[in-house]
Structure 1
Amino acid sequence: MPRLRAALLRAAPALGLFAAARLTGTLVFALWAWHIGRSPRALLATSWDSDWYLRIAANGYGRTLHWPDGAPMSDLAFFPLYPGLIRAVTGVLPIAYGTAGLLLSWLAAGAAAWGVYLVAERLAGRRVASLTVLLWALLPTSFVLTMAYTEPVMTAFAAWALYAVLTRRWLWAGTLAALAGLSRPNGVAIAAAVLAAAALELWRRRGRAGRRVWAGAALAPLGWASYLLWVGARRGDLFGGYFAVQDGWTSRFDFGAGAAHFVRDMLKGPTQFGYVMALVVTGIGVLLFALLLLDPDERPPLPVLVYTGVLVLITVGGSGFFESKPRFLLPAFPLLLPLARALTRARPRAAITVITGMAGLSFAYAPYALTLARMAL
């Protein structure tokens, strides 16, 4: 506990910046929503995937809608931890499901920001860590952190699992990775990171690592794998059932072929701003990963590279819902390390200009995405 309190005190300025950024963004969005006669709470709690999670929390699994061509959209595509937590909160507190979802997301976002700080601090020091947290709060899709979505929960578990790996707390790393895997499909990234770190530890010790390393490695993929197998058993196809569900949502991994076709068609004529933003953010994400990977002096440890690389690979190589790619990259906070380092070395005026520009874009994009755009989040 003394170490935890000390870590919280070190992170307090960064967490204050994070809270200020997200509160300002949420206030700007709320003012816009009231201006156009919409409810900010309803937009944050029930938009797009949020509605699916709240229905699962209230009624369990079993809802299926259909595309115009008859293809099914099953709620089995949504992982169970977040709706399970919503149901648990509403069983204790006399609040609505939407309010419980927002409360969980806000708390998880704070925990995630703390975990992001600790990982970045261990890799690059306090100044870079504080800037990493602030940049993460000012990403164009950072408004998702204040919605009833799973990204805050998954990132919180993943960031703390990474920190546990870096500090050699193997049982914590495996347990937190398992919980991240129960939160979102791309939670498999942190399981891969823990497995890679454990494999490296075993190689260094010639296979004589302690039981905690083996236990952490065994625990890490359990959450993700157990849900996939449960869906497969329910669908009558143990190993392929979940992927068939995702295929019904037009989501599949095709090494980027579907995304490339979408971009080709998008560039042929007029398109929505959200699609352009998705292309730009995804491209910048790939560039930042290249910088993270190729810099020999500041390259992060293997588990951080694996975690970030798997998230980038899933985002770039997946098809369907191209506009959601920036949201899929939101948990990939190590991508911000090269930019945070660059800002610490830049002149104060240049750094302030970059941060101000990001804040303006971030605060303006939420009203656009949730009230003006004609596309999924």
Structure 2
Amino acid sequence: MTDLETRATPARSGALRRAAPALLGYAAVRALGLIALALWSAARGENPYRLLTARWDSLWYARVAGQGYGYEVRLPNGDVHSDLAFFPLLPWLERLGAAVSPLSYADAGFAVSLAASLAAAWGIFAVADHVYGRRAGVCAVLLWAVLPVGIVQSMAYSESLFTALAAWSLYAVLTGRWVTAGVLALLAGLTRPVGLAVAAAVWAAGAAASGRVRKAAGEGGVPVARRALGMALAPLGAAGYVLWVGHRTGKGPLGYLDVQAGWRNGFDGGWAFARFVAARLTSFPSALAGLALVAGVVLLAWLYLVCVRQRQPLPLLVYAGIVTVLALGAASYFGSKPRLLLPAFPLLLPLARALAGLRPPRPALVTAGLAVASALYGAFWLNGSGPP
């Protein structure tokens, strides 16, 4: 299916019932991951809850929630790590959660992540179900759950919140709810810099719809004003925060880029990542890691080409393409790239379709095996280098 609104939207009363198998399967996979993390951490004398809520980026989010913006760390090499690099929606929700409950900011971040991960799973199901049917929707959610770095979906990070907003914004676009799509894209833009990918998807879909309307000389029941309003709202979150950072730093519209430069982060089209991979290939055993990275990049490119060949709806292609390019093209934090790719769920749809086409019980066996592997890797990962 290639056109928007190609499948009837389920009645609201039955939408949750339709998604229930996907959500229950998702919850089971995430529970398995948390159990594995608890057991692995106990064996090492580590606190698993601390790993989920009080390390790496989660500390920065909680600090913003509690103290507002303005904290920075100056490193001996001259780099400046500023909390302005972190977009505000998650800290706002953490502050709200702490204000209306006895939860700490970190606890509230964990609660937001758990709720958002279920919302993201439901949104992914809604998109895949709308385009390819219910079985593919269930499989898409399970594949997202069993990704090797799926444990991040349960951390006090912004990936789950962003994916939920992105998925439901894309679903709203596919079903012609333009204002809803724009509002959700705006919120996604307040969550992560890659929120611009959601806005671009809304704009691409809106432009394509305008072209079809001109050819058909009719609106097809979708008021032009609502589509224009949705398109206007979509980029305001990301653009607004970037402009605010520029004003606060006194460096104008590009001030946010200077903040990212202080973290040695930016976009160079993948040149630094290519050099990082090449360096791994020069000696053994690091060459095995280098080959795995090459294979991963090739797999991502192949999946995207399959998405194009299978004629995924334009907003999904635009969104997944931009998320993937920004993740691979980032100039630093190479260990974070799998985490940055978590929101690119449309890349999983070809695999979901293939899995859905298998006869029972093969889909269940495949996902169960992947779930165990993901749980063990997530426990090992968080007890080791973890996601920076």
TM-score calculated relative to the size of structure 1: 0.94
Q: Is 1:240–2:219 an aligned residue pair? A: no
| Partner Cα separation in structure 2 for residue 319 and residue 339 of structure 1 | 29
Deviates more, 1:360-369 or 1:315-324: 360-369
Q: Is 1:335–2:347 an aligned residue pair? A: yes
SS of 1:239's equivalent? Answer: helix
Quote the residue 2:165 is aligned against.
157
Quote the residue 2:180 is aligned against.
172
Quote the residue 1:370 is aligned against.
382
| Partner Cα separation in structure 2 for residue 211 and residue 81 of structure 1 | 28
Quote the residue 1:289 is aligned against.
304
SS of 2:81's equivalent? Answer: strand
Task: Please tell me whether the aligned partners of residues 232 and 242 of structure 1 are also in contact (alpha carbons under 8 angstroms).
Answer: yes
Quote the residue 1:60 is aligned against.
68
Counterpart code for 2:206: A
Quote the residue 1:354 is aligned against.
366
Counterpart code for 2:31: L
Task: Please tell me whether the aligned partners of residues 278 and 326 of structure 1 are also in contact (alpha carbons under 8 angstroms).
Answer: no
| Partner Cα separation in structure 1 for residue 90 and residue 101 of structure 2 | 16
Counterpart code for 2:233: L
Structure 1: any 5+ residue segments left out of the alignment? none
SS of 1:65's equivalent? Answer: strand
Residues 67 and 326 (structure 1 numbering): CA distance in 2 closer, same or farther, change over 3 Å?
same
SS of 1:144's equivalent? Answer: helix
| Partner Cα separation in structure 2 for residue 182 and residue 259 of structure 1 | 27
2:335 pairs, out of 310, 323, 328, with 323
Quote the residue 1:260 is aligned against.
274
| Partner Cα separation in structure 1 for residue 297 and residue 335 of structure 2 | 10
1:284-327 Cα shifts (integer Å, max 9, x gaps): 2222112111x2xx311111111111111111222101111111
Shift of 1:282: 4.2
Q: Is 1:104–2:112 an aligned residue pair? A: yes
Q: Is 1:87–2:77 an aligned residue pair? A: no
Q: Which has the higher contact order (CA 8 A, sep 6+)?
A: 2
Counterpart code for 2:203: L
Which runs of structure 1 show a deviation greater than 6 angstroms over 4 or more consecutive aligned residues? 272-277
Shift of 1:97: 1.3
Structure 2: any 5+ residue segments left out of the alignment? 1-9
| Partner Cα separation in structure 1 for residue 207 and residue 367 of structure 2 | 39
1:8 pairs, out of 9, 12, 16, with 16
Residues 238 and 276 (structure 1 numbering): CA distance in 2 closer, same or farther, change over 3 Å?
farther
| Partner Cα separation in structure 1 for residue 318 and residue 192 of structure 2 | 17
| Partner Cα separation in structure 2 for residue 282 and residue 194 of structure 1 | 26
Aligned residues: 373
Residues 33 and 280 (structure 1 numbering): CA distance in 2 closer, same or farther, change over 3 Å?
farther
Counterpart code for 1:292: C
Q: Is 1:217–2:231 an aligned residue pair? A: yes
TM-score calculated relative to the size of structure 2: 0.91
Deviates more, 1:247-256 or 1:12-21: 247-256
Task: Please tell me whether the aligned partners of residues 120 and 161 of structure 2 are also in contact (alpha carbons under 8 angstroms).
Answer: yes
| Partner Cα separation in structure 2 for residue 363 and residue 146 of structure 1 | 12
1:195-234 Cα shifts (integer Å, max 9, x gaps): 1111111222239761001000000000000000000111
SS of 2:383's equivalent? Answer: helix
SS of 1:319's equivalent? Answer: coil
Quote the residue 1:128 is aligned against.
136
1:254-283 Cα shifts (integer Å, max 9, x gaps): 111111011111222344998876655444
Counterpart code for 1:66: R
Residues 238 and 273 (structure 1 numbering): CA distance in 2 closer, same or farther, change over 3 Å?
farther
| Partner Cα separation in structure 1 for residue 235 and residue 293 of structure 2 | 29
Task: Please tell me whether the aligned partners of residues 282 and 326 of structure 1 are also in contact (alpha carbons under 8 angstroms).
Answer: no
> Identity of paired residues, percent?
47
